[in-house]
Amino acid sequence: MPPQSIKASKAGIEKAEMVRIDKGWSRQDIADRVLMGEGKSLQTGISLQTVNNFFTSNRVKRQYFVGICKALGLDWQDIKESNTTTNGGPETGFFSRKDALQPVDSIKNPVSSIALDDSDRNNPFIPQHGKIDDRRFFFGREREIRRVFETLNSGSSVAIIGERAIGKSSLLQAIYRQAPTQLRHPRQPIYLDLRNVCDEDDFYRALCDKAGIETAKGYQLQRALESHRFLLLLDQVEKMTSDEFTNQVRGQLRSLAEGTNCPLRLVVSARNPLDILFPDSEDQNMTSPFKGICIEENLKQWDEKISREFIASRLQADWLTPVPQPVSFTEAEIATLIAESGGYPQKLMQLCYQTYAGYLNEAKSP
């Protein structure tokens, strides 16, 4: 018997749409984040048409409906139409119950939900790994964001340079979300994580897919983009130093990002400065691909002040479940956490999570 189909209620669609807009996702982004299967058979992604059916209150196979809701961090029971019958056994095609307690996109984007297991439901120091693409969990970097948009509005592209786990990807996500309101001259933001791109041809396919145009490169790509204005955010741009990429694709990006009214404005992230990543070509007639068009913004560790503000903000988060005796850290604990983290946001998050979990465990002890 085929899986039963479900359709979303009008209120459910409105709720899902609000979450989608808040995350800055397109419907294709949602389709890419749905997880199917489990274990070695785990696969990512469903068809865009299925997501479109979901948002237009058409019936969707049960496992797809549940997957879309999980990708958005929503309870599918709250989204479905009330008179939709859902008998048909367990949610086959997805994680086991144990795995289902984790955020659904913890493999690709481990930040879309705060739905943890019951013991950790009230621990505010999440996510412990990966980029932060939920605005509730993003903290700080106001100065860096302001400078990035000042640079973009002046007509230049930006390179965000910083060590591993310093928060480059999370900053890119924040720029992606704020671009519609912060750019003086509107540009549609496009985010590409180059870790998911295999080679140069795959890059062109991904770029054109995000831009909504037929796959093209060279002159045909230039022509196709002439009437468009995009803000292209490239995460992990050092991937372009691999043998799978030539200077040709980097040169075309430069060409498309030059000029006041160019099709692309770039924001790229990397661990090393661009003049080290992309030195001038041995052919003296060629220019280093990003030389002169990307202004570098160096991402530093958090200082003590911002670290303290982060800890205080999480301990007082408005999305925490109210409890009779809220957890608070001692001054000695805070000082130790900041010192041990070395100013690295992800490390501080992990250390705070462990400390908070200790308080939760004590509260559960008889």
What is the per-residue pLDDT across 249-305, written as a single tens digit (0 to 9) for each? Answer: 888 998 999 888 899 999 999 888 887 777 654 444 555 567 678 889 999 999 999
* CA 101 – CA 74 distance, rounded (Å): 12
The pLDDT score that the predictor gives to residue 106 is 32
Enumerate helices (H) and strands (E) in the chain, giving the number of each.
15, 9
Which amino acid would we find at residue 329? F
The pLDDT score that the predictor gives to residue 288 is 57
Going by C-alpha positions, the residue among 285, 291, 34, 282 that lies closest to residue 156 is 291
* CA 173 – CA 131 distance, rounded (Å): 8
Q: DSSP letters of 219-261? A: HHHHHHHTT--EEEEEESGGGGGSTT--HHHHHHHHHHT-STT
Q: CA triplet 188, 192, 194: central angle to 5 degrees?
A: 160
pTM: 0.65
- pLDDT tens digits, one per residue of 177-220: 999 999 999 999 999 999 888 899 999 999 999 999 999 999 99
Q: Given CA atoms 15, 132, 209, 61 in this order, what sign does their dihedral have?
A: negative
The pLDDT score that the predictor gives to residue 120 is 45
Going by C-alpha positions, the residue among 14, 267, 232 that lies closest to residue 150 is 267
By DSSP bridging, strand 43-44 and strand 60-61 are unpaired
Query: Which segments of 124-235 does DSSP mark as H helices, in order?
Result: 142-153, 168-182, 200-211, 219-225
Residue matched to tokens 């990708």:
71
Contact 72, 30 (CB under 8 A): yes
Low-confidence ranges of the chain (pLDDT < 50): 1-2, 85-120, 281-284
Which amino acid would we find at residue 145? I
The pLDDT score that the predictor gives to residue 31 is 85
Contact 26, 67 (CB under 8 A): no
The pLDDT score that the predictor gives to residue 168 is 93
